[in-house]
Amino acid sequence: MDHPNSPSPGERPAKRQCRISNHPEYEIRVQSHSQQFTDSKIIEPEVPVRTRGSLTAEFMKLLYYNDALTTPALKLLNLFFCLWGCYVVKSAEKIRLEEGQRQLQALNEWLVSDGDILLQLCDEQALILSDPKRAVQALCNGVVSSLQASETQACHADRHSLSLIVVQRSWATMTPE
């Protein structure tokens, strides 16, 4: 089985390096070690690797020397750009979905904890409201405390010269008879 080893860091070109040149100094030869055994000997072929320019520059060079490949090369280049666009869109969509999933997970955990708290409070209230007289008293006190907590403040809503004013009221504690 072939397992090419990567070249040493000194022989490796910089990532995203764009060199368009016909000089042989820009060609890098890499040793690829294939583990082919012939008479107990390892064969190590040298494979030239070129780090020329961009894909379009390589296509232009190819088309300059061979006009018959123009249409297939342009179709291939178009396909490449379509695939690249799909990859970028899908990657962005995946990142957005993962972020949404993290937010939903956090919201779900928050809802579960609040649900547990509400369930505990309901259980406590069920114990308190076990007899009917206390239940009516607790209900009345709950209504009164809700109304007192939500005492409305004066608010203004101007719409087409119409004003609405809500007057503040005070509620007394109710007791059942």
Joined together, the tokens standing for residue 38 give 């012939």
**In 10 A of CB 146, how many CB atoms?**
10
Q: Judge if 2 and 44 occupy the same domain.
A: yes
At 52, is the pLDDT very low, low, confident or very high (cuts 50, 70, 90)?
Answer: low
Rounded to an integer, the average pLDDT of 150-172 is 43
CA angle 39, 40, 45 (to 5 degrees): 85
Final residue of a structural domain among 35, 53, 71:
53
Q: Judge whether 117 lies within some domain.
A: no
Residue 170 confidence (pLDDT): 44
Q: Judge whether 26 lies within some domain.
A: yes
Q: Judge whether 43 lies within some domain.
A: yes
Average pLDDT, the chain: 66
Q: Which long-range contacts (CB under 8 A, 24 or more apart) does 43-49 make?
A: none
State the Cα–Cα distance between residues 172 and 141, nearest whole angstrom.
Answer: 10
Residue 157 confidence (pLDDT): 39
Q: How many domains, in total, are found in the chain?
A: 2
Query: pLDDT tens across 69-125, in order?
Result: 888 878 888 898 899 999 999 999 999 999 999 999 999 999 999 888 988 888 888
State the Cα–Cα distance between residues 171 and 144, nearest whole angstrom.
Answer: 7
The boundaries of the domain holding residue 8 are 1-53
At 151, is the pLDDT very low, low, confident or very high (cuts 50, 70, 90)?
Answer: low
Q: Judge if 46 and 58 occupy the same domain.
A: no
Predicted TM-score (pTM) of this structure: 0.34
State the Cα–Cα distance between residues 60 and 46, nearest whole angstrom.
Answer: 27
Q: Judge if 60 and 90 occupy the same domain.
A: yes
Residue 174 · residue 165 · CB < 8 Å: no
Joined together, the tokens standing for residue 42 give 């390892």
Q: Judge if 59 and 98 occupy the same domain.
A: yes
Q: Judge whether 154 lies within some domain.
A: no
Query: Quick one: CA dihedral 76, 77, 82, 84, positive or negative?
Result: positive
Query: pLDDT tens across 17-43, in order?
Result: 444 444 444 333 333 333 333 444 444
Q: Judge whether 134 lies within some domain.
A: no
% of residues, the chain, pLDDT over 70:
52
Identify the residue with better confidence: 63 or 119. Answer: 119
